[in-house]
Amino acid sequence: MKRLHLLIALLLAALQSSSLGWDAKTAEDVVVRVAIFTSSGKYSGHGSGFVVSRDGHVVTNNHVVRGAGTLLVIRKESPQEMGVYKAEVLFNDSGLDMAIIKAKGMKGGPISTLATEVPPKGDRVYAAGFPGQNDDIKDLIALLNKIMSADEFPIHRKIDSTTEDALDVSIKPGFIEQVSTSSWLRASTGSGGGVELEIIKHSASIVHGNSGGPLFDEKTRVIGINTAGNADEKTYNNLRLSGRITELIDARAFKDHDIHPIISGNTVTALSLADPKILLLIVLVMALCGMGTLLVVHKQRAAAGARGPVLVRGDGRTPHAPSQNDQALTLGTGGEVLGRRSPDTKIAGSGGNRRGMPPAQSNGRNRWVLEGNGPDGRHHRLELDNRRLSQSTSGLKIGRKRESADIELDDSSVSRPHARVFLRKTSLYLEDLGSSNGSFVNGERLGGKIQAIKLKENSEVKLGEVRLRFLPLR
């Protein structure tokens, strides 16, 4: 078994090393040009974007698509061929200056990995896109004007000497200078007003045409959307500003439109699943893990002898023999778990309700607190008053932004609405709200099979990277 564990560890290390580090080719493959036409079919400008799904979903700036009559997405499919796709706007937010468009008929191809954390100050970043004025791409514009009247899209054309330069993605390196909470109006002009969001200030060059393109970290993951730069040396006081990609994730734009991008958190490595070497490594690791589980089962069955079948948990330990109720519930280490039964099923002998939730037990307390520290060492104290909770039918939301939550938890790893605490009779439960970095109780991640977990005294709660403990308010 020790040799098997060592082999799995070596394969995982190889998998990780194959997916880390800057890769210009990976970056270029996900960047597209967004061409804007008036309602009369006249070319009026362009921006950049990046592909986030294999169904042709593209992220760009709202100011790129705002007021457009027709949008065309141009993608370099191979060194010899380009694809031209008509696109429609699915989501746009003027306050965030972010938009999602769908390139109709675009299928497959490389897609971006989105990062939920921002590297520290001084780390290298890369701004990608298609900078330049219309004069720089006049041959491509002439071609697009010709095919605008085509009856069917997408259109695939051979890349020649007249269009080659126009499809060459520009990548400019720089360094992170600051991540701040501001609005686009205040960040660019110093005046007040506007929707607040997290903005990344960096030194990677952004000029006209870069708008909507991705800002990559050193792992070739998208951390921001390039929005404002210096058209000349006097504009924006040489600031290069990119909206943090988590703002788009927190706005639930992907979820609301059934888009499933690759999202990489603090403990997740960005994977290019199009790489056959990575696919092979994944298959090998899964096969070896399966062999390990079979060996554990075989050994424990042999040891058990005539005592009957042995159940093996995911961590290799043998739990107690399950009762009928145990088999119907998802086991969690954080306490009672809400959820695996059908909506009309009660838990036998428990007095459970219609949703299959176990009845809460009184804890004898009226006020509780979640208290602990964030990754930066800052202390956080969230008071939970049963009176306030009992007055709300939906519980209280915990989140990074006061306007999106009832209880503010100011940390960059926490989503705008991150989690919810609610009363079930006299006990408190915690539920995740589709956060970027997850919610955990005693190491058990919420979501999927485990929808909510009852909080008990001294329960360890982790929201994003903020570690808290559930305690009675003294």
- What pLDDT is recorded for position 338? 53
Supply 91's token pair.
């989501």
Weakly modelled stretches of the chain, pLDDT under 50: 15-19, 231-237, 266-274, 306-335, 339-364
What span, in angstroms and rounded, lies between the C-alpha atoms of 118 and 266? 10
**Is it true that the peptide bond before 154 is cis, omega within 30 degrees of 0?**
yes
Q: What is the pLDDT of residues 37-88, one digit of tens each?
A: 998 888 999 999 999 999 999 999 999 999 999 999 999 999 999 999 999 9
Q: What is the pLDDT of residue 135?
A: 65
Per-residue model confidence as pLDDT tens digits over 188-208? 655 556 788 889 999 999 988
Quick one: pLDDT at residue 418? 93
Residue 402 has a pLDDT of 81
| pLDDT score, position 309 | 40
pLDDT, residue 279, reads 64
* pLDDT at 195 (0 to 100): 80
The three state secondary structure string of the chain is CHHHHHHHHHHHHHHHHHHCCCCHHHHHHHEEEEEEECCCCCEEEEEEEEECCCCCEEEECHHHHCCCCEEEEEEECCCCEEEEEEEEEEEEECCCCEEEEEECCCCCCCCCEEECCCCCCCCEEEEEECCCCHHHHHHHHHHHHHHCCCCCCCEEEECCCCCCHHHCCEEEEEEEEEEEEECHHHHHHCCCCCCCEEEEEECCCCCCCCCCCEEECCCCCEEEEEEECCCCCCHHHHCEEEEECHHHHHCCHHHHCCCCCEEECCCCCCCCCCCHHHHHHHHHHHHHHHHHHHHHHHHHHHHHHHHCCCCCCCCCCCCCCCCHHHHHCCCCCCCCEECCCCCCCCCCCCCCCCCCCCCCCCCCCCEEEEEEECCCCCEEEEEEEHHHHHCCCCCEEEECCHHHCCEECCCCCCCCCCEEEEEECCEEEEEECCCCCCEEECCEECECCECEEECCCCCEEEECCEEEEEEECC
Q: Are 79 and 48 in contact (CB under 8 A)?
A: no
| Per-residue pLDDT, 208 | 86
Closest CA to 376 of 347, 342, 413, 403: 413
